Amino acid sequence: MESKTRPPKKRNVQSIKPVPENAFSNKQLNLFQDFLVNSDRESEALSNAIDLWDSIPRYSISRKKEDELRLPGGFLPARKVDFKYRGRNYIAQIRPARIDIRDKNGNYTGDTIEHYPSAREELIEHTLRKLATESFSGFYDAPDYRSGVSFTLHRLRTELAKHGHSMTYNGIVEGLEILHYSYLAVIDAESDPNDPNMISQPYFPALAKVNRKKRAEDPEAKWFVQFHGLVTNSINHITYRQFNYQRLMKCNSQLARWIISQLVLKYTQASITNSFQINLSTIKRDSVLLDGYSRQRDALAALNEAWEEIKSLGAVSLVEKVEKRGVRGKLEDVVYTIFPTSEFAQEQKAANRRRRNAAESQLSDSPHEI
């Protein structure tokens, strides 16, 4: 932590440019909010997985690992993480947020410390994306090419608690600040190294917050968050997929959540007669969530627990594994063959139909050339 020899500099949280009313209700946003379901109750269980964005290992550094990396003064190094997306190599560069420390009463102590976005922030982001699917909560502002959500802390906290992730108000506020002050750069590793393709933004580029006094006076005071540009791009190009959000939020394991997201995005033709394969090496490389284990057998045990959790939540019915061994029987890799439940297969079919319908609807609204 930084020494408290002088008060920390007052930092202004970047405010959001006023969002026009039509950004809360328009065709592109409606496509993002409308799910293919038989009833409104079914839609409560659904949210959107964001292609590319949800394949980036952006929450892969645990608080335990963070403590090991922490430097004097509370600083943390920028992290570079290699991953693959649709067969192409990328680098995620994560710069931590430096935030002011509060005491148990929520008052600033004068100290500061750095944090990477981790499991708590992942849950907050997933929940806000779910809230963005509610009418007049999410927004998509085409002229300024931005998207996001308006919400109350009470609504966010209630939604998290409903799925077994209770958090204090102070914890949620800290998580939001970490998401706002942390930077994520996504670099195409296969482009010209002297002129790489890159997008760099905070996880939440803009955050409009309500102070504690105003929150006490008006519990329904709205906060605003602007989503990362890759989320906006997905809304614009309809590269998202509806999925069972309630199942994801029931996961206790961060690794299980990552696997479910990948199955949703990649196992698009799921059926009880069509299996899906993924290697241990792929999971290790692209999730980065197994790097914290010093012994391979501990990493394998954690992965086996994640598979069991996914099975218990009704996404997968069977997981078969074949070990690949090299010299002297050393384990080199494991191939996992996954068979879905009929429920997951039906969910994926519905997601495919919904995406086709949305694409056709968008195409029908496009001007035709003469």
Query: 320 and 201, same structural domain?
Result: no
Query: 229 and 106, same structural domain?
Result: yes
- Read off the pLDDT band of 4 (50, 70, 90): very low
Asked if pLDDT for residue 238 goes beyond 70, the answer is yes
Query: Rounded to two decimals, what is the model's pTM?
Result: 0.91
Q: Does residue 134 form part of some domain?
A: yes
Contacts 24+ apart (CB under 8 A), 201-206: 201/228, 201/229, 202/228, 203/58, 203/117, 203/121, 203/125, 203/179, 203/228, 204/148, 204/176, 204/179, 204/180, 204/228, 205/14, 205/146, 205/229, 206/14, 206/15, 206/16, 206/17, 206/146, 206/148, 206/180
Q: Does residue 60 form part of some domain?
A: yes
Query: 264 and 282, same structural domain?
Result: yes
pLDDT at residue 5, rounded to an integer: 37
| Parent domain of 285 | 251-362
Cα separation, 84 vs 24, whole angstroms: 34
Asked if pLDDT for residue 13 goes beyond 60, the answer is no
Query: 173 and 273, same structural domain?
Result: no
Query: 230 and 255, same structural domain?
Result: no
Cα separation, 95 vs 184, whole angstroms: 6
Query: 227 and 81, same structural domain?
Result: yes
Q: How many domains does the chain have?
A: 2
From 191, 213, 244, the end of a domain falls on 244
Query: 181 and 222, same structural domain?
Result: yes
Contact between 218 and 212 (Cβ < 8 Å): no
Alpha helices in 20-164 (DSSP H): 27-33, 40-43, 63-69, 119-131, 153-162
Q: Does residue 5 form part of some domain?
A: no
Q: For position 256, which CATH number holds?
A: 1.10.10
Q: Does residue 132 form part of some domain?
A: yes
From 244, 264, 281, the end of a domain falls on 244
Q: Does residue 138 form part of some domain?
A: yes
Tell me 270's DSSP state. -
- Read off the pLDDT band of 3 (50, 70, 90): very low
Sort residue 54 into left (φ over 0), alpha (ψ -120 to 50) or beta.
alpha
Q: Does residue 57 form part of some domain?
A: yes
Query: 75 and 41, same structural domain?
Result: yes
From 244, 274, 296, the end of a domain falls on 244
Tell me: the pLDDT tens digits for 283-328? 999 999 999 898 999 999 999 999 999 999 999 999 999 999 999 8
Packing angle of the helix pair 254-266, 296-312 (nearest 10 deg) = 60
Query: 82 and 135, same structural domain?
Result: yes
Asked if pLDDT for residue 330 goes beyond 70, the answer is yes
Asked if pLDDT for residue 369 goes beyond 50, the answer is no
- Read off the pLDDT band of 102 (50, 70, 90): confident
Span 72-78, average pLDDT: 94
Q: Does residue 100 form part of some domain?
A: yes
CA neighbor of 309 nearest in space, from 143, 148, 164: 164
What's the mean per-residue pLDDT of the chain?
Answer: 91
Burial group, residue 302, by CB count within 10 angstroms (0-12, 13-18, 19+): middle
